[in-house]
Structure 1
């Protein structure tokens, strides 16, 4: 017979679904006030471990929340049957077996979603947001997916991404537009916009994301969430490729709480067979434990401009100003300074590497299908990138990586003087849907795209970790984050500051009105 507490926990969990369907509430997961503000995956796992909620009940709640908000268009591949079979097996275990399972797999039974881009789960489809990959069934698990499974996560689908992650919005001809939960006229950001949407909407507290030029940090900023891009090599990219986009792209997550991001990184970080770039660690124990320690006094360099001379919108500057105020109140030092970079050389390689990476993905699919991709199977901008990629030389690829490494050397020296860097996430707040779609002429796309990542992409090229932290909401009710970067391998420093900011400028209890996204 269930205890009174278990009955209360189960009702609390299930009532979260009703709340999402009827209004805008995020999951009512935990019992005490502090945890109820966190509403995170760590708390989900604790309830399952205690037996307050079964894995099947947790999954059914997540699926119900997804189906209650179809106009979010965030979960584009639904592996419900596969996940339910696993959840039923988990839920049938005895209390003793459940205790053994949760001891081995800390996130045992927690529902989870993976981004529909370059991550594979055997027997399920990954489309990369592209019509040419529709129906492409994976024959193996990506190393990261295998680690998610080992941690106990139950993957029930994949979240929307633009085609090949090539734009900072989540819109594609294959799946359509994924609107921002805070304001349906605007973008969620990209390319992990589907992941940000499901977390902002309270479908899940944390979801997989990836970042090749800002694709974790931009959606996190646009949706009022926490997003950290780890150092190059911190998380596995294999087994097929050891580095995504020659090291530019890194996987991790978008979450409501800092705790979930730190915990998930603990569970998934580390080398895999073939890894050669393994960053150092700046914490003695786990990242989760480091959250309670807090950083020492930090010297933070604020960049007064960007390298392209793009004007910064007042709302983006407001987010930085609020971050400065919060950091000063915490006792940290703020200095206005930025290094000199060979900007043209460094950024010229970005398009080369991303285009060639996309071409390699398409070539692999062509080999499977036994035919060449057609122009009508790829969006307008990506077809242009593909044609350009065919002409790039080995020398251009080598020089691109060389210029990235040069920028890394300059920033490494800059970080000898400063603990962190603070910048806007983007030069503009979340744009309207349609502004950054890949299905438009190059000139109009380039004019808007340059406003999206004059800050974030640099740290993909140099390999340093960086994060977006919620700081500001516009008059149109759109979130805007502040962007912090750290020296290579210093994720613990970012987590420490993020945990402080989470307490002093809390964001977890802010939720969007989801009524317009219901069926």
Structure 2
């Protein structure tokens, strides 16, 4: 059974179809693995084992992922009848009334949901250490962070509890934990999947839903499942030419790829491990026949970006706090929040509607100026997935907000810009530090070009297979 659990989700689904394992047996094995190893990692905060086993035993035939266990991030990804905390005790006692559209699609495909994974409070930082639930530990070294905000999902997948887990990304929250846990983490184009029925968008469109996985084909297959415009959505992503699963193994052609190792804004410290990761990836891409050269969008260095991005996020945090109060039936006091979110909610509430609209308009211009680089003939940008090397738990101190915000700003310096532009980007596990900790590299495509990312990521995976040495 352990051999089947080590397969990716596509492989596990095939094992079920071939009768090598039943959905219930596979769910039982995954539950046993969670129980054996989650005590050390603290990745799963809500368990629904009884419901999962009953559902596994009653699954109808069919469904591309019939019987495959999965975990849902406890931020977004709402499921009817289940608790929901978003990393905060302010939501204790809340129970969800209806499945989110993407959760319903996962169920229809045959996935068996085993529980919910940890996230920092409201997903507003780069490490999963919520005061409500305690830190999630990195399977490669338990003294280190699994990243955030999808850190619980990343730790669970890297450790082998499940082959895939859901995630979301508002400033790097798929790519950062994928980088730190040695996984594939693709942030889709803005609007690729729906936030309905309860929401329209996250963080003014910065946030998108996705997953973390151990293989490119899993990433492609699950994104195919959850993608699609739903009635009432505020916008949708450009249509893909064909399913992403058909891009796995397709030739990407000879691509023109720019790369960057020193952030053009000049305020992000360069680190040797990140430089080595990008340089190694550039050599690999050259060996695959691509044209690789130094280069990046000039706009990536715009000194005004952090201020405008931070202002919009703060406004969204303030709005979320108000929404939580309405949801639970009583206002949220600032004292209920972690210091980071208390400060962000206060700052967001102080901004005027005019200031908010002006920040949105500034981002409109930023998005168009960034897009010009891809229109000029570049296919992809290669950059670090994370602006800092792997970091230990406690590196983002909850009480020292000046240090915490400064370190977070450096960490998201290569990711948050593409939340603002809405472009798709993927973190791939191509480097290890001398201590054996994963370091991801990021590839960024033009808006709507997940197809190109999947083609190239699959080519890279075939040429330099990803190592998942933290598997339990």
| TM-score normalised to structure 2 length | 0.96
The answer for unaligned runs of 5 or more in structure 2 is none
For residues 234-245 of structure 1, what are the structure 2 equivalents within 5 Å? 234-245=192-203
Secondary structure of 1:311 counterpart: coil
Equivalent residue number for residue 26 of structure 2: 58
Following the alignment from structure 2 to structure 1, what is the Cα–Cα distance between the partners of residues 356 and 111? 38
From 471, 488, 508, give the equivalent of 2:430.
471
Equivalent residue number for residue 424 of structure 1: 384
The Cα shift of 1:347 comes to 2.6
From 313, 318, 324, give the equivalent of 1:354.
313
The Cα shift of 1:210 comes to 0.5
Residue-by-residue CA offset, 1:437-469 (whole Å, 9 max, x unaligned): 4x2222111221122111100000000000101
Following the alignment from structure 2 to structure 1, what is the Cα–Cα distance between the partners of residues 201 and 213? 24
Question: Does 2:249 correspond to 1:292?
Answer: yes
> Over aligned residue pairs, what C-alpha RMSD do you find?
1.6
Equivalent residue number for residue 208 of structure 1: 166
Residue-by-residue CA offset, 1:193-214 (whole Å, 9 max, x unaligned): 1111011101111110100000
Equivalent residue number for residue 332 of structure 1: 290
Question: Does 2:206 correspond to 1:266?
Answer: no
The Cα shift of 1:66 comes to 0.4
Question: Does 2:9 correspond to 1:29?
Answer: no
For residues 468-507 of structure 1, what are the structure 2 equivalents within 5 Å? 468-507=427-466
Following the alignment from structure 2 to structure 1, what is the Cα–Cα distance between the partners of residues 439 and 185? 12
Following the alignment from structure 2 to structure 1, what is the Cα–Cα distance between the partners of residues 269 and 315? 31
Equivalent residue number for residue 440 of structure 1: 399
Following the alignment from structure 2 to structure 1, what is the Cα–Cα distance between the partners of residues 468 and 53? 31
Following the alignment from structure 1 to structure 2, what is the Cα–Cα distance between the partners of residues 448 and 213? 14
Question: Does 2:374 correspond to 1:406?
Answer: no
Question: Does 2:43 correspond to 1:84?
Answer: no
Contact 2:265 2:303 in 1 (8 A): no
Residue-by-residue CA offset, 1:276-327 (whole Å, 9 max, x unaligned): 42222453x3111111212010000112421432122111111101110110
The structure with the largest alpha-carbon Rg is 1
From 11, 14, 26, give the equivalent of 1:46.
14
Secondary structure of 1:344 counterpart: coil
For residues 103-502 of structure 1, what are the structure 2 equivalents within 5 Å? 105-283=63-241, 285-309=242-266, 310-341=268-299, 343-416=302-375, 417-437=377-397, 439-502=398-461
Secondary structure of 1:172 counterpart: coil
Following the alignment from structure 1 to structure 2, what is the Cα–Cα distance between the partners of residues 166 and 308? 23
Following the alignment from structure 2 to structure 1, what is the Cα–Cα distance between the partners of residues 45 and 328? 23
Residue-by-residue CA offset, 1:458-499 (whole Å, 9 max, x unaligned): 000000000101111111211001111000000010001100
Following the alignment from structure 2 to structure 1, what is the Cα–Cα distance between the partners of residues 406 and 311? 18
Secondary structure of 1:177 counterpart: coil
Secondary structure of 1:488 counterpart: coil
Equivalent residue number for residue 73 of structure 1: 42
Following the alignment from structure 1 to structure 2, what is the Cα–Cα distance between the partners of residues 46 and 404? 44
The Cα shift of 1:513 comes to 7.2
| TM-score normalised to structure 1 length | 0.87
Distance 1:72-1:272 versus aligned 2 partners, 3 A rule? same
Contact 2:84 2:91 in 1 (8 A): yes
Contact 2:168 2:211 in 1 (8 A): yes
Moved more, 346-355 or 109-118: 346-355
